[in-house]
Amino acid sequence: MSTNDDWQELVERHLRGELTESEMEQVAERLDSDPVARQTFVEEALWDSRVAEVLRDGNTHETSELLTAKTSTDFDQQKSANTTLRFLLAGAVAVIVVLCLGLYQQQAQAERRIARIEANAPEVKPKPSIAKIIGLSGSLIWTGDRGEIQRELEVGTELPGGTIEGVAPDSWFELQFNDDSTVMISGTSILTFADAGQKVLRLKEGSLSASVVSQPAGKPMLVHTHTALLQVLGTQFDVKAGLTSTALNVSEGKVRVKRLSDNGEVDVPAKHRLIAEADNELIAVNVPDSVSSWKSELHHKRGSYGKWQPATDNKPASLKAIPLIPPQAPHVTLYLAGLPVDRSNDAPVVVQPDSRFVVRGRLRSEARVHFGIRVSNPNGEFAGMFRGDLHDRQPLAKLKDDGDFEEVYDLRDFTVDPAVIDRKDELSSKPDGLILNGVWAFTHTGRPSGLEVTEVELIPPDGALLK
């Protein structure tokens, strides 16, 4: 069938009211773009209306004449040019009205169908809040159980559950449940939380500290990790979860630990710690006395933020800074590398007054290396974050011939990190005597600086700086 025949068929079916919605759209587009099609359409509409009028009057003789004229090539010459023009104009208006009316009716029908469906659909009620945010900082992402994603979180926001993820070394998030129990994650940690009569948490990775009030009988707080299940009736503790191990430190109360690989169980009392992994004996031991010195061990590649690079014959293992865009300053790009300070395998590291931090690494060009630390109270509760480079006291890093640098940060120069300045009245004003949990270094040069961290060291007040 030719294109003209197809068009003729569409026009005739339209006049009979047989077009689908998509075909009506096709007719409207053709009329808008093709003058010849418009003329054909108007002629067919006029012809159809004249036949209908004759049929209503019951004049069969005139009907026969019209049908004969329709097939005659002289039909268009029976009327004067002016009369034809008037009919065409009037017919064009009628066509537009008919098309618009048809489309409007179909749209109205569709809207009524949608309204009926929505009226019969069950009402989705928002889930009740189980906890509220009482502290946060850094880059965080909250995901609800219906897939809702939110990056702009605020203190006081109530949450029905979901997953919270810290995406930078300086990230932390503190949550208070309705019974006043609190949990906090720090650094690059991922925590899922729920409470349907019993609190259930899943620490996929990272660090969690908690202060838990007495829980209902038979309904302890449950903390799941890759390797263990923790049952908490009421206590203060902190836990670090990795892919192959779970490290627990209990400050107050008692936590029952079940190792998933063999279902072995042990109770961990206050001032004890335990590591749950497949190859070690499952036993709680006393928390050792604190230490005041610490040195990173980058060759282990533990929970770092950045691109880990193994050692070579000429270079030690390093952590290369990667881009980070702070949520409060989306126009800024930092290049940042961060390290956790693991207190699970060794004694807690306490920052003493007059201590010094030394950062060693490599740079592509001279740049100011910013440095920060995160600390906690002895019971594991978050105590604050501090920076050793504010007020422009730290000069540009001086590079050796091979691009290596070494920067020293005196604890006397450390100030409260701007990320937690709004909580300065409730957090510690200085890091002296607190437990070191994490460190980070970054550059802010407007372009990649090539920052690589090879070592971070805490030197106690009476310690000598190694060269």
Query: What are the tens digits of pLDDT across the range 363-413?
Result: 988 888 999 999 988 877 889 999 988 766 677 777 887 889 999 999 998
Residue 90 vs residue 227, higher pLDDT? 227
CATH architecture label of 294-459: Sandwich (2.60)
Q: pLDDT value at position 108?
A: 58
d(CA 154, CA 415): 24
d(CA 450, CA 367): 10
Poorest-pLDDT segment among 50-64, 101-115, 287-301: 50-64
Q: Which structure tokens are listed for 231? A: 């049952």
Q: Which structure tokens are listed for 442? A: 């970054």
Intra-chain end-to-end CA distance of the chain, in Å: 91
Q: pLDDT value at position 392?
A: 63
Q: Where are the beta strands (DSSP E) in 270-309?
A: 272-277, 285-286, 294-295, 307-309
**Residue 147 CB-density burial (10 A; 0-12 exposed, 13-18 middle, 19+ buried):** exposed
**Residue 181 CB-density burial (10 A; 0-12 exposed, 13-18 middle, 19+ buried):** buried
Q: pLDDT value at position 346?
A: 64
Annotate 33-60 with b (16+ C-beta within 10 A) or e (fewer).
eeeebbebbbbbbbbbebeeebeeeeee
Is residue 54 very low, low, confident or very high in pLDDT (cuts 50, 70, 90)? very low
- Would you say 368 and 335 are in contact if contact means Cβ atoms under 8 Å apart? no
Is residue 345 very low, low, confident or very high in pLDDT (cuts 50, 70, 90)? low
Please spell the DSSP secondary structure of 342-376, one letter per residue. --SSSPPBBPPTT-EEEEEEE-SS----EEEEEEE
Q: pLDDT value at position 46?
A: 57
Residue 59 vs residue 21, higher pLDDT? 21
**Residue 429 CB-density burial (10 A; 0-12 exposed, 13-18 middle, 19+ buried):** exposed
Pick the closest to residue 387 from 351, 431, 426, 424 (CA basis). 431
Annotate 219-242 with b (16+ C-beta within 10 A) or e (fewer).
ebbbbbbbbbbbbbbbbbbbbbbb
Listed in sequence order, the residues at least 6 apart from 361 whose beta carbon sits closer than 8 Å to its beta carbon are 318, 369, 404, 405, 441, 451, 452, 453, 454, 455
Question: Which residues pair with residue 334 across a beta bridge?
Answer: 324
Query: What are the tens digits of pLDDT across the range 205-261?
Result: 888 999 999 999 999 999 999 999 999 999 999 998 988 899 999 989 999 999 999
The residue whose two tokens read 């099609």 is 37
Pick the closest to residue 357 from 342, 339, 378 (CA basis). 339
Report the chain's C-alpha Rg in angstroms. Answer: 38
Give, as one character, the DSSP assignment of residue 75: G
pLDDT over threshold 70, residue 123: no
Q: pLDDT value at position 47?
A: 56
- Would you say 155 and 134 are in contact if contact means Cβ atoms under 8 Å apart? yes
Query: What are the tens digits of pLDDT across the range 261-278?
Result: 999 999 999 999 999 998
Pick one of 2.60.40.650, 2.40.170.20, 2.60.120.1440, 3.40.109.10 as the CATH number of 131-286. Answer: 2.60.120.1440
Write down the mean pLDDT value for the chain.
80
Residues of the chain with pLDDT > 90: what percent? 41
Give, as one character, the DSSP assignment of residue 290: P
Query: What are the tens digits of pLDDT across the range 162-203?
Result: 999 998 888 889 999 999 999 999 888 999 999 999 999 999
Question: Which residues pair with residue 406 across a beta bridge?
Answer: 360
d(CA 235, CA 215): 10
Q: pLDDT value at position 116?
A: 62
Please spell the DSSP secondary structure of 107-139, one letter per residue. HHHHHHHHHHHHHHSPP-PPPPP-EEEEEEESS
Is residue 88 very low, low, confident or very high in pLDDT (cuts 50, 70, 90)? very low
pTM of the shown model: 0.65
Decide if 131-286 and 294-459 have a common fold. Answer: yes
- Ordered by start, the domain boundaries in the chain are 3-120, 131-286, 294-459
Query: What are the tens digits of pLDDT across the range 1-27?
Result: 556 677 777 777 776 667 776 777 777
Q: pLDDT value at position 74?
A: 44
